[in-house]
Amino acid sequence: VLNRICPDGFMHQLQSIRVVKKLEKNGKGLNLTKEVRDGILNHSTSGHPSTLEGKIVRLCDKIAYVNSDIDDAIRGKIICEEDLPEACVRVLGRNLRERLNTLIHDIVIHSMEKDDIMMSDETYEALQELRKFMFANVYVNSDAKREEGKAERMLSQLFSYYSNHIEEMPEEYTRMIWEKGESISTVVCDYIAGMTDRFAVSTYQTLMIPSTWQIY
């Protein structure tokens, strides 16, 4: 959504680098090594980390978000455990604990004494099938997906509001405009990108939704 509404575009891995280099410690950034920054930049599926540690992070990111999203979708009653592909369940396990245990042990066993971080073909293919299942049943064709339009309108209106009321952002953000010459759109994007879902919704309600009168 931010990539569509921000004039300069938005990629979460590039934003993560911006956070650690420019935004943390009141604009001073963190003194991270080149290797750590490389791991952050290349942690997504399409990345190619240059270190073993970065490769571990890349795999862990995929494992974490797939399993976390499955857990959220089950608790949100979008799917149930019985909906998971049986072929994946046979390889990885039925519940969250079993899946994580299988995936972690598989990585350890197949990476031991090698100069690479690897998974067995069977386990990797099962993980990929779970991703496909989630795209088909949760990310694309579900109630959660249908909420995306609302989220986009909310973020678009927050972006427009703060672009025209920059003084209402926290001081550490306005300083970047006045003292460091950062563009308003970039700083507003920084502020919105740092919001949690709950805070964004709460802020939107405060700014955009009329309050009802309290009658006692």
Task: List, for residues 149-178, the tens digit of each pLDDT value.
Answer: 888 999 999 999 999 999 999 999 999 999
Q: Which of 86, 76, 95 is nearest to 129 (CA)?
A: 86
Q: Which residues contact 168 (CB under 8 A, 6 or more apart)?
A: 162
Boundaries of every domain in the chain: 2-8+147-208, 52-143
- Identify the pLDDT of residue 144: 67
* Mean pLDDT, range 185-208, rounded to an integer: 95
Is the pLDDT reported for residue 44 higher than 80? no
> Cβ(126)–Cβ(70) under 8 Å?
no
Q: How many CB atoms lie within 10 A of CB 209?
A: 8
- Identify the pLDDT of residue 169: 97
- Identify the pLDDT of residue 215: 60
pLDDT in tens, 99-125: 999 999 999 999 998 999 999 999 999
Which pair of structure tokens corresponds to residue 33?
């090594």
- Identify the pLDDT of residue 1: 81
Which pair of structure tokens corresponds to residue 191?
């502020």
Distance CA 207, CA 49 (A): 41
138 phi/psi in degrees, rounded to 5: -125, -55
Which pair of structure tokens corresponds to residue 78?
């979008």
Amino acid in the structure at residue 166: I
Report, in angstroms and rounded to the nearest whole number, the Rg of the chain calculated over CA atoms: 21
- Identify the pLDDT of residue 216: 57
Cα 47–Cα 48–Cα 49 angle in degrees, nearest 5: 110
